[in-house]
Amino acid sequence: MAGMTHAATPPPKVSGDAAADANLWLEDISGDKQLDWVRQHNAETVKKYAQTPEFKQLDARLLEVLDSNERIPMVEKIGDRYYNFWRDKDHPKGLWRRTSLAEYRKDQPAWETVIDLDALSKAENENWVWHGTECLKPDYQRCLILLSRGGADADVVREYDLPGKQFVKDGFTLPEAKSNVSWKDRDTLYVATDFGPGSMTTSSYPRIVKEWKRGTPLSSAVTVYEGKPEDMTVSAFRDRTPGFERDFVARQIAFYDSETYVRGKDGKLTKIDVPNDANVRAHREWLLIEPRSDWNAGGKPYKAGSLLAAKFDDYMAGKRELTVLFEPTDSTALDGYSWTRHHLILNVMDNVVNKLEVLTPQAGAWQREGLGGAPKLSTIAAAGIDADDSDDYFLTVSGFLQPTTLYYGAIDGGEPQAVKHSPAFFDAAKYDVSQHFTTSKDGTRVPYFEIAPKHLKTDGKNPTLQYGYGGFEISLQPSYSGGIGRAWLDKGGVYVIANIRGGGEYGPRWHKAALKANRLRAYEDFAAVSEDLFKRKITSPQHLAAMGGSNGGLLMGNMLTLYPQLYGAIVSQVALLDMQRYTHLSAGASWIAEYGDPDKPAEWAWLKTFSPYTNAKAGQKYPPALFTTSTRDDRVGPVHARKMYAKLAALGYDTSFYENIEGGHGGAADNKQSAFMKALEYTYLWDHVK
């Protein structure tokens, strides 16, 4: 989910029921009084849960996982070099570094440091957090470096000379803002940023995109496009693929609705004529379209969740000759795709387990063949390395008990070769992975994964942690976590992933089934998984913990208030919780398409049914709950967690709170903070459900 910068300003004016909110004062994110309150309650939580030898040992073991030098350094090809951003014990803020392919394939590559973020932070007295790069092809001489203060979504943009490994004196720079910026050419940027009053949307993102020439003040940049204040954001970019250079403008109307325009040399915009809820992407001569709703084009019907291909120029000229590259079934969904020079790799999920296909463009139906296999109940993914120049690809295989292996291959080049292996951080031989299906309240079949000790006693007494998300069409798939292995499995626990509606496990239909007025379906699904664990005697309410973050933190808030009888303890991370005020907090307005608008009475009627802060009341048997958040989270913001904790504490419930002063929406700004937060959360749950 996406945000807004922090300022020590009074909260927005309120009226109606919210005006009686005793915790409104906590909405001043950076106020001295509020931060003193945060520190006080942080200290209480640390004293209670983070002082024991057991906690300190777990903290150290989790940090060991995060800092391990044996982790796979995933790379991106920029020019003829392979770049990686790397954090470890000696470089907590991180190194941006590079190497050659031949060197990368060695067990111990020799790396050349490009930017030492720890040294830069020290020299500039800033707490920089890496946000990535935008490099100008085809020569890759210049990059835009994105740096965040403390992990917020807002970042500072600075031009960098890549061969010279130094920032460009008097080069392009942008002050801290939630900017969308990309190269048009070496001396021109497309910039959408905070240009001053009226230039941002109600979602706190840029509303105006401009063309900015080198050597001129930002104030003289020429407007390319203006969105509406109620839009989510706008951006512009140039596709610099040799021979297929095109400029595009994107208007993000809402989270799932957008318009994409081709910008001519004269500045004229021509809309790509697809439904607003369809995703489009141009590549060389092709236009790929992913409709999120059933769609009729050229007199033919196409299913939601399909992937369609057309010749770009023909489509823009009005022809509607579409080739179906993927069509979903009851059990399959498109997980993603990636181009190589001559082929398209499809990642497909079948009951939340991956398989790969390689498609080769040709007249009529494209040629198809499989690409590699994966062990049972694991995730396999592949992506082209350089779609302009080669058919090479990287492929990863991972599972709950299988550390990631990275392969390097070439389409039509035989079997890919393993080049990197992630280390094992726990003994996988002790455990089994299984997939189960249960029936939700309305009869829907819901899958979930279970990782448990072999020869598990089905006596209902196993400490079990159930995790979920259920929103924004995001899927939870099999993946390896040394942290979960060490913090939960190695202590004898069972770990469960619930693939509830609202996610993308079965494509757009699975997501739309829990949108807005149907949100409760996601929570019914999560409860159904819990009840199935009881039915199978894996665990029981006093031994069942639940955890989720962001939208999953909202899920946790609702399991607390709607299904308290099912859980022994709950952890809600960087969560939305006050659904009456969420559109006025940080980037909340950008998610109206997901939840609805509480300022409209008809929509508040359903929103209040899943607003944990609204629904928390006295006299209930709520399980103990820990709320974790970050002051520098300018996406969801810390306000929700602060207020929920304050309300529950005032009502006399067993509740705890911890707000990391840094960290952004990820909750932590570096590995040390991340390990501490995770150790705190797992320790809290073990303390209540063992």
Cβ count within 10 A of residue 188 = 15
For residues 176-180, give the mean pLDDT.
Answer: 96
- The pLDDT assigned to 130 comes to 96
Res. 318: pLDDT tops 90: yes
Res. 213: pLDDT tops 80: yes
Per-residue pLDDT of 644-661, as tens digits, reads 999 999 999 999 999 998
Per-residue pLDDT of 86-143, as tens digits, reads 999 999 999 999 999 999 999 999 999 999 999 999 999 999 999 999 999 999 999 9
Q: Extract long-range pairs of 323-329: CB within 8 Å, 24+ residues apart.
A: 323/364, 323/365, 323/366, 325/288, 325/359, 325/366, 327/302, 327/303, 328/303, 328/304, 328/506, 328/507, 328/509
Per-residue pLDDT of 233-290, as tens digits, reads 999 999 999 999 999 999 999 999 999 999 999 999 999 999 999 999 999 999 999 9
Name the CA dihedral angle for 480, 483, 485, 486, rounded to a multiple of 10 degrees: 160
- C-alpha atoms less than 13 angstroms from C-alpha of 214 in its C-beta half-sphere: 13
Could you give the number of structural domains in the chain? 1
Split at pLDDT 50, 70, 90, the class of 374 is: low
> Does 147 map to a domain?
no
**Coil, strand or helix at 126:** coil
For residues 64-69, give the mean pLDDT.
Answer: 95
Res. 328: pLDDT tops 50: yes
Q: Tell the burial category of 546 from Cβ atoms under 10 Å away from its Cβ (0-12, 13-18, 19+).
A: buried
Contact between 380 and 397 (Cβ < 8 Å): yes
Contact between 118 and 96 (Cβ < 8 Å): no
> Does 581 map to a domain?
yes
- The pLDDT assigned to 17 comes to 57
Structure tokens given for 111: 């790396």
pTM greater than the 0.85 cutoff: yes
Cβ count within 10 A of residue 257 = 16
> Does 320 map to a domain?
no
Structure tokens given for 526: 């999560």
Stronger pLDDT, 345 or 373, i.e. the higher one: 345
> Does 234 map to a domain?
no
- Report the CATH number that the domain containing residue 519 is assigned in CATH: 3.40.50.1820
Split at pLDDT 50, 70, 90, the class of 662 is: confident
Split at pLDDT 50, 70, 90, the class of 18 is: low
Contact between 6 and 152 (Cβ < 8 Å): yes
Distance CA 387, CA 241 (A): 9
Cβ count within 10 A of residue 491 = 13
**Coil, strand or helix at 429:** helix
Q: Extract long-range pairs of 190-199: CB within 8 Å, 24+ residues apart.
A: 190/224, 190/235, 190/236, 190/237, 190/238, 191/218, 191/221, 192/233, 192/234, 192/235, 192/236, 193/218, 195/219, 198/229
> Does 532 map to a domain?
yes
Q: How many residues does the chain have?
A: 690
Per-residue pLDDT of 499-548, as tens digits, reads 999 999 999 999 999 999 999 999 999 999 999 999 999 999 999 999 99
Structure tokens given for 495: 């770990």
Cβ count within 10 A of residue 688 = 21
Per-residue pLDDT of 556-614, as tens digits, reads 999 999 999 999 999 999 999 999 999 999 999 999 999 999 999 999 999 999 999 99
Stronger pLDDT, 2 or 318, i.e. the higher one: 318
> Does 475 map to a domain?
yes
Q: Where are the beta strands (DSSP E) in 52-203?
A: 76-78, 81-88, 91-99, 112-116, 128-135, 142-149, 155-161, 166-167, 173-177, 180-185, 188-192
> Does 672 map to a domain?
yes
> Does 587 map to a domain?
yes
Q: Tell the burial category of 51 from Cβ atoms under 10 Å away from its Cβ (0-12, 13-18, 19+).
A: exposed
Per-residue pLDDT of 160-171, as tens digits, reads 999 999 999 999
- Catalytic annotation, residues: 550, 665
Closest by Cα among 640, 514, 515 to 575: 640
Split at pLDDT 50, 70, 90, the class of 212 is: very high
Give the range of the structural domain holding residue 641, as residue numbers without chain letter: 460-496+514-689
Distance CA 170, CA 114 (A): 20
**Coil, strand or helix at 359:** strand
- The pLDDT assigned to 362 comes to 87
Tell me which amino acid residue 478 is. Answer: P
Split at pLDDT 50, 70, 90, the class of 553 is: very high
How many angstroms separate the most distant Cα atoms in the chain? Answer: 72
Q: In what order do the strands lie in the sheet with 625-630?
A: 431-439, 445-453, 494-498, 464-467, 544-549, 569-573, 625-630, 655-660
Q: Which residues contact 266 (CB under 8 A, 6 or more apart)?
A: none
Q: Please, what is the Cα angle at 522 between 519 and 527, to 5 degrees?
A: 130
Q: Which residues contact 513 (CB under 8 A, 6 or more apart)?
A: 444, 501, 502, 521
Cβ count within 10 A of residue 598 = 24
Percent of the chain with pLDDT over 70: 96
Q: What is the mean pLDDT of the chain?
A: 94
Split at pLDDT 50, 70, 90, the class of 373 is: low
